[in-house]
């Protein structure tokens, strides 16, 4: 059991089902997941929402090209106001991807007895892709609907990309013999391979408020393959998704051996934050000395905290902003 845990935790394994023309990924997050949540003292409900978003981000992000950045955001009018994640693709071959996440919420409005997803309220689910300097960032948005963040992500791919997509996720606190309790997460993503000319029938779709569903996009034969693969995924057990006793490759064989699964190299993932003093200075460069005066504390310092990792930065107000004075 320990050997499987060491080999597969904090990785995303891409695969393809050759018989069904479907691609997918299996994610296992352990240490990276624990470090994401350890940056803040969230109530259990918020931890669960952040956990789900981080797992979705790892599964979606694996397709990012070198040095690209993927961001997922959920904004709502409920007490869980914002959940944000970033996935930084590897900077080179054989390098890990980095992931970070945080949430903003109104503690006094949270209903701990309610479904966590209901605490988001009305709002939107957004995916942003930054391809680097001199490239226009891509942004896609879909409404908060479907009962889970995974359902929102599925709707995004069907609506914005016309790619039928399925997520099956499991996460929570786990304890192995001889170890303390800690967070673990595992999940699988299925996605129909893109087509040159997607088939979309009728005006709008058959989903919530006219959103597209898989049956609105796929031909009869494609729909049959998609239904078969999803039926097989329905048989997965939560413990199989989380592991560590079942490796991702063994899980794929167990679920999809008749679909001819083909696996590729796994992508390691770790917690990582890109904040730095220079980046914070750059973000403050848009403010004038007058603006910065209103942000200065009583002791004469200007402070900033990273929402992702909690790093604390202290500045002399005179040395930041576009009217900054040099020490020389």
Stretch 254-272: mean pLDDT? 94
In a domain, 206, yes or no: yes
Give the model's confidence band at 2: pLDDT under 50 very low, under 70 low, under 90 confident, else very high.
very low
Which of 15-19, 176-180, 284-288 is predicted most confidently? 15-19
Residues 247 and 305 in one domain: no
Give the end-to-end CA distance of the chain in Å, rounded to a whole number.
Answer: 60
In a domain, 33, yes or no: yes
Strand runs (DSSP E) across the chain, as ranges?
A: 11-17, 22-29, 69-76, 80-88, 97-105, 123-130, 138-143, 165-174, 182-192, 261-263, 267-271, 302-305, 312-315
Give which of 167, 173, 155 is closest to 51, Cα–Cα: 173
In the chain, what percentage of residues exceed pLDDT 90? 52
| Predicted confidence (pLDDT) per residue in 104-143, tens digit | 999 999 998 999 999 999 999 999 999 887 888 899 999 9
DSSP 68-108: -EEEEEEEESSSEEEEEEEEE--SSTT--EEEEEEEEE-GG
Give which of 96, 102, 99 is closest to 58, Cα–Cα: 99
Task: Supply the pLDDT for residue 211.
Answer: 62
Residues 253 and 114 in one domain: yes
Residues 157 and 292 in one domain: no
Task: Supply the pLDDT for residue 3.
Answer: 39
Structure tokens at 56: 């979705």
Rounded to 5 degrees, φ, ψ at 226 are -65, -45
Per the omega criterion (within 30 degrees of 0), is the bond before 244 cis? yes
Task: Supply the pLDDT for residue 216.
Answer: 67
Per the structure, the complete domain to which residue 245 belongs is given by 2-271
In a domain, 328, yes or no: no
In a domain, 325, yes or no: no
Residues 197 and 220 in one domain: yes
Structure tokens at 241: 């998704």
Residues 249 and 143 in one domain: yes
| Predicted confidence (pLDDT) per residue in 225-243, tens digit | 999 999 999 999 998 998 7
Q: What angle do CA 147, 104, 121 make, to 5 degrees?
A: 30
| Predicted confidence (pLDDT) per residue in 64-96, tens digit | 888 899 999 999 999 999 999 999 999 888 899
| Predicted confidence (pLDDT) per residue in 30-74, tens digit | 999 889 888 889 999 999 999 999 999 999 999 988 889 999 999
Residues 71 and 162 in one domain: yes
Residues 159 and 212 in one domain: yes
Residues 154 and 69 in one domain: yes
> Does residue 196 or residue 309 have the better pLDDT?
309
> Does residue 278 or residue 155 have the better pLDDT?
155
Residues 174 and 314 in one domain: no
Q: What angle do CA 281, 104, 107 make, to 5 degrees?
A: 135
Q: Is the pLDDT of residue 183 over 90?
A: no
Give the model's confidence band at 175: pLDDT under 50 very low, under 70 low, under 90 confident, else very high.
low
Q: Chain-wide mean pLDDT for the chain?
A: 86
Stretch 270-280: mean pLDDT? 84
- 135: domain CATH number is 3.55.30.10
Structure tokens at 276: 């730095």
Task: Supply the pLDDT for residue 146.
Answer: 92
How far is the CA of 84 from the CAs of 36, 72, 226, 252, in angstroms?
Answer: 12, 6, 30, 30
Residue with tokens 């993503």: 189
Residue with tokens 């899980």: 251
Task: Supply the pLDDT for residue 208.
Answer: 62
């Amino acid at each position: 059991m320990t050997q499987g845990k060491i080999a597969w935790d904090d990785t995303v394994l891409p695969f393809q089902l050759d018989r069904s023309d479907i691609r997918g990924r299996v994610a296992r997050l352990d240490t990276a997941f624990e470090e994401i949540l350890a940056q803040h003292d969230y109530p259990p409900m918020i931890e669960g929402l952040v956990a789900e978003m981080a797992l979705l981000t790892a599964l979606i992000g694996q397709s990012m090209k070198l040095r690209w950045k993927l961001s997922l955001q959920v904004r709502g009018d409920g007490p869980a106001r914002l959940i944000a994640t970033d996935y930084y693709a590897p900077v080179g071959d054989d390098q890990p991807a980095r992931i970070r996440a945080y949430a903003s919420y109104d503690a006094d409005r949270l209903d701990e007895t309610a479904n966590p997803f209901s605490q988001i309220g009305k709002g939107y689910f957004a995916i942003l892709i930054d391809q680097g300097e001199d490239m226009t960032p891509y942004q896609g948005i879909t409404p908060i609907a479907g009962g889970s963040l995974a359902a929102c992500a599925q709707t995004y791919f069907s609506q914005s990309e016309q790619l039928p997509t399925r997520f099956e996720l499991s996460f929570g606190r786990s304890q192995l013999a001889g170890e303390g309790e800690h967070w673990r997460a595992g999940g699988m993503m299925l996605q129909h391979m893109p087509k040159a000319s997607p088939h979309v029938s009728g005006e709008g779709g058959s989903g919530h408020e006219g959103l597209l569903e898989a049956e609105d996009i796929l031909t009869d034969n494609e729909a049959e393959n998609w239904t078969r693969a999803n039926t097989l995924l329905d048989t997965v057990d939560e413990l199989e998704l989380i592991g560590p006793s079942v490796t991702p490759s063994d899980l794929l064989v167990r679920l999809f051996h008749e679909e001819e699964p083909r696996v590729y190299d796994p992508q390691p993932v770790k917690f990582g934050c890109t904040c730095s003093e220079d980046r914070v200075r750059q973000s403050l460069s848009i403010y004038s000395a007058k603006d910065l005066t209103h942000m200065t504390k009583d002791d004469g310092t200007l402070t900033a905290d990273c929402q992702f990792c909690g790093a604390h930065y202290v500045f002399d107000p005179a040395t930041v902003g576009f009217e900054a004075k040099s020490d020389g």
